[in-house]
Amino acid sequence: MIYGYNFKTIIGEFGLLESDDKLVGVLLPGEDMPLNVIMKESDLLFEAKKQIESYLDGDIKEFNLPIFYDGTDFMKSVWSALSTITYGTTKSYKDIAVTIGSPKAARAVGMANNRNPLPIIIPCHRVIGNRGNLIGYRGGLNIKKQLLELERIVCENEKKQQIVENII
């Protein structure tokens, strides 16, 4: 049984999917809830909503949720590598390909990135083109840009706060 829940955020309406007490999907603004889903706000879906809202408010940098994702071994290796990209930083598709031991697979990394079932939780928005350009994002480049800008601002504010604390 799959449970679903929709909620509005500052960047649009998100959907969440739960199965067997694990978060199995994040739907970005503009994506439709699958038809076979039972709409219900479970404890897990409520907690996922809270954490995504906290992330979008700049209050948290990591998620602490039970997750499950299914895919090929290659996809899973990409998604695992995406999870290591720290808040406020980016890596290229080629960087991820090298990380997983397939240096010529940058395009395949892009396809796996596009099929990431848990965007934001598994931060595929932090993957950019080799030249630093924004390319490809399932939710659209505007949302990708907003997420990266949010992380940049939070990191800058933390650095400023650290400088002030060191002066005091």
Q: Which helix (H) or strand (E) holds 96?
A: helix 93-99
State whether the Cα torsion 141-61-73-90 is positive or negative. Answer: positive
Whether 2 contacts 24, CB under 8 Å: yes
Residues acting as catalytic residues: 124
Q: Which amino acid is at 66?
A: P
DSSP-derived pairing of the beta strands 2-9 and 12-19 = antiparallel
Whether 54 contacts 102, CB under 8 Å: no
Report the C-alpha gap between 148 and 89 in whole angstroms: 8
Report the C-alpha gap between 52 and 40 in whole angstroms: 18
